[in-house]
Amino acid sequence: MADQPLAGKVLVVVGGTTGLGLSAARAFLAAGARGVVVTGREATSASAAIATLGNDAATQVGNATDAGHAPAAIALALARFGGFHGLYHVAGGSGRRLGDGPLHEITDDGLRATLELNLHSVVLSNRAAVKQFLAQGTGGSVLNMGSVLGWSPSPEFFATHAYAAAKAGIVGFTQSAAAYYAGKNIRMNVLAPGLVETPMARRAAADERILKFIATKQPLDGGRIGRPDDCDGAAVFLLSDAARFVTGQVLAIDGGWSVSEGQIPEEIP
């Protein structure tokens, strides 16, 4: 049915207990998904997610950087809902508090931790999904969370160079894998948001200078920070059969960030 583009699908959302992932999981169920497994690092967030999503969802607590995390989530999807059709990898985050920043300030630990959180975890989850699709012989869809910072930098306000490298790496990795597995009917794509109001964006959302900058850098819809549900429609589409001829693509959901100059405001008195 046109209003149920994910009818019968069973999906895994790595990093799906809060923010962008939770919003997407809610949208997947509304679009007809038979079941959704959402994963996260905190038991309290997982419990809250189930309360929001209901009986057609299951949760798994763990760290996306662990090699066993995604395979276990996929196994849960198979056991609980009897199938596995798509993976949405949302897990990641700023490495600023870990030691990321401008190149000359990045610490060794910050570099390792930021790449592990934002790129290594994607490779691990995608590997698990592809292995399962190959074992099933069914094909399937993988959607990875990138960022416009992977190719459209903002040096004044968002100078975290290891994070940018990780997000650029997601594009190269996804497109390379998409090319390799296209013949197996495994589709792999990337969503690249601009600044979205999530727990990761609290620093930016509380900074009046950044908000003034965003008003012209993300000028759509009056000039604002994105909302998690701004990405939901694209995620539903790319994980549905309506996107059966789409692979290796990067879709920016950025309010115009990547095509807008943006004006750095004067200092606020």
Burial class (CB in 10 A: 0-12, 13-18, 19+), 80: middle
Q: Which two tokens stand for residue 202?
A: 């609290």
Q: How far is 240 from 254, CA to CA, in rounded Å?
A: 22
Task: Show the tokens assigned to 58.
Answer: 């299951």
Distance of alpha carbon 115 from the chain centroid: 15
pLDDT at 203 (0 to 100): 77
pLDDT: is 268 or 176 the higher one?
176
Mean pLDDT within 149-161: 95
Domain boundaries defined on the chain: 10-198+229-252
pLDDT at 200: 66
Q: What's the CATH architecture for 10-198+229-252?
A: 3-Layer(aba) Sandwich (3.40)
pLDDT of residue 263: 81
Hunting for tokens 């903002």 — which residue is that? 154
- Phi, psi values for residue 38, rounded to 5°: -115, 140
Question: What's residue 205's pLDDT?
Answer: 76
AA letter at 247: T
What's the pLDDT at 267? 60
Sign of CA dihedral 225, 162, 22, 253: positive
pTM value is 0.95
**Alpha helices for the chain (secondary structure H):** 19-30, 43-53, 69-81, 108-115, 121-136, 161-181, 202-205, 208-217, 232-239
Over 90: is that where the pLDDT of 38 sits?
yes
Average pLDDT, the chain: 95
User: What's the residue count for the chain?
Assistant: 269
* CA 232 vs CA 20, 26, 212: distances in Å: 8, 9, 26
How far is residue 164's CA from residue 160's CA, in Å, rounded to a whole number? Answer: 6
Determine the average pLDDT of the residues in 68-72.
Answer: 98
Region 99-127 average pLDDT = 98
Q: How confident is the model at residue 73 (pLDDT cuts 50, 70, 90)?
A: very high
Residues belonging to the active site: 163
Residue 1 has pLDDT above 60, yes or no: no
What is the amino acid identity at position 129? A
Given pLDDT bands bounded at 50, 70 and 90, which one contains residue 114?
Answer: very high
Structure tokens given for 14: 């790595």
What secondary structure letter does DSSP report for 118?
I
CA angle 217, 222, 225 (to 5 degrees): 55
| pLDDT, mean of residues 250-258 | 97
Whether 119 shows a pLDDT value over 80: the answer reads yes
Nearest to 97 by CA among 113, 77, 86: 113
Please report which confidence band the pLDDT of residue 95 belongs to, taking 50, 70 and 90 as the band edges. very high
Assess whether pLDDT exceeds 60 at residue 78: yes
Name the least confident of 108-122, 183-197, 207-221.
Answer: 207-221
